[in-house]
């Protein structure tokens, strides 16, 4: 990898002009109906959930959503989910399993919100519960990293049968700034951290953490077409398997991942 190439990917993934989850949902699916609330505390707009379809095939959508401007970012909490986001996601995961709908998640967050209120409402437990529930789902799950996929905020909705990643997105267990702060006690070394974290799509594909890199070279329209084709192809293949096989395949994917990382 060229010097500073990883940091360049970080900057692209974070650019305010980058397309958001709702942009992809609008273009990929024929119809989308948003559903709200965790039936426990409230409706956190950093996470968008709902039902969509491509032709006659329905899907459950779970997507982290950043704003397009300052006003929207404040409303969306800058795409950093609170615990109620993950509990809302769990609610619709279980609904998807009940009605045998495949699940598509869109990942785009700098991390789960670390505020006092979020901690008081059980942020860590909500993330862990989301991962736990995803691990045992008996419907196909595809996770798509479309921008910034950092920390537990991203991992919470990425326990999937297939993980797809746009070529200019990033995916890691924390941000480069967080890595540099913990390892070197110096957040200003974030560029250096990005180079050693192996957080780019190419790095993660080589490590077998993700299953497919979606090219972005020909513009948004072509990227959408590639992503849509990949979603349809993978869902069709997984639907030929039994529910037990789908759950076991996901379990083995993450059990075996340690051999490569």
Q: Report how far residue 108's alpha carbon sits from residue 36's, in angstroms, rounded to the nearest whole number.
A: 19
Q: What is the pLDDT of residues 31-63, one digit of tens each?
A: 999 999 999 899 999 999 999 999 999 999 999
Share of the chain above pLDDT 90, in %: 90
- Residues forming a β-bridge with 52: 32, 59
CATH number at residue 13: 3.90.226.10
Q: What is the pLDDT of residues 69-122, one digit of tens each?
A: 899 999 999 999 999 999 999 999 999 999 999 999 999 999 999 999 999 999
Q: Report how far residue 157's alpha carbon sits from residue 85's, in angstroms, rounded to the nearest whole number.
A: 11
Residue 59 lies in a domain: yes
Of 135, 158, 134, the C-alpha closest to 145 is: 158
Res. 258 pLDDT band, cuts 50 70 90: low
- What pLDDT score was predicted for residue 217? 87
Q: Report how far residue 152's alpha carbon sits from residue 132's, in angstroms, rounded to the nearest whole number.
A: 13
Structural domain total, the chain: 1
- On the question of pLDDT at 259 being above 70, the answer is no
Classify residue 65 as exposed, middle or buried by CB count within 10 Å of its CB (0-12, 13-18, 19+): buried
Residue 72 lies in a domain: yes
* pTM across the whole model: 0.94
Residue 260 lies in a domain: no
Q: What is the pLDDT of residues 129-141, one digit of tens each?
A: 999 999 999 999 9
69: containing domain:
5-253
Residue 258 lies in a domain: no
Q: What is the pLDDT of residues 161-212, one digit of tens each?
A: 999 999 999 999 899 999 999 999 999 999 999 999 999 999 999 999 999 9
- On the question of pLDDT at 1 being above 60, the answer is no
């Amino acid at each position: 990898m060229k010097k500073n190439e990883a940091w360049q990917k970080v900057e692209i993934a974070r650019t305010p002009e980058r397309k958001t989850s709702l942009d992809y949902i609008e273009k990929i699916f024929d119809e989308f109906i948003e559903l709200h609330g965790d039936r426990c505390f409230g409706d956190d707009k950093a996470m968008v959930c709902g039902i969509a379809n491509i032709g006659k095939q329905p899907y459950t959508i779970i997507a982290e959503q950043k704003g397009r401007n300052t006003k929207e970012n404040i409303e969306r909490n800058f795409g950093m989910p609170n615990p109620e986001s993950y509990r809302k996601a769990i609610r619709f995961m279980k609904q998807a399993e009940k009605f045998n709908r495949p699940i598509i998640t869109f990942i785009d967050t700098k991390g789960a919100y670390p505020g006092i209120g979020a901690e008081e409402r059980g942020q860590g437990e909500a993330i862990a519960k989301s991962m736990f529930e995803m691990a045992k789902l008996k419907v196909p799950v595809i996770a798509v990293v479309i921008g910034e996929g950092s920390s537990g905020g991203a991992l919470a909705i990425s326990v999937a049968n297939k993980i797809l990643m746009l070529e200019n997105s990033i995916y890691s267990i924390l941000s480069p700034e967080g890595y540099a702060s913990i390892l070197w006690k110096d957040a200003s070394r974030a560029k250096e951290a990005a180079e050693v974290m192996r957080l780019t799509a190419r790095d993660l594909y080589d490590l077998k953490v993700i299953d497919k890199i979606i090219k972005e070279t020909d513009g948004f329209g072509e990227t959408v077409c590639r992503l849509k084709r990949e979603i349809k192809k993978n869902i069709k293949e997984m639907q030929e398997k039994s529910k037990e096989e789908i759950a076991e395949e996901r379990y083995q994917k993450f059990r075996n991942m340690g051999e490569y990382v």
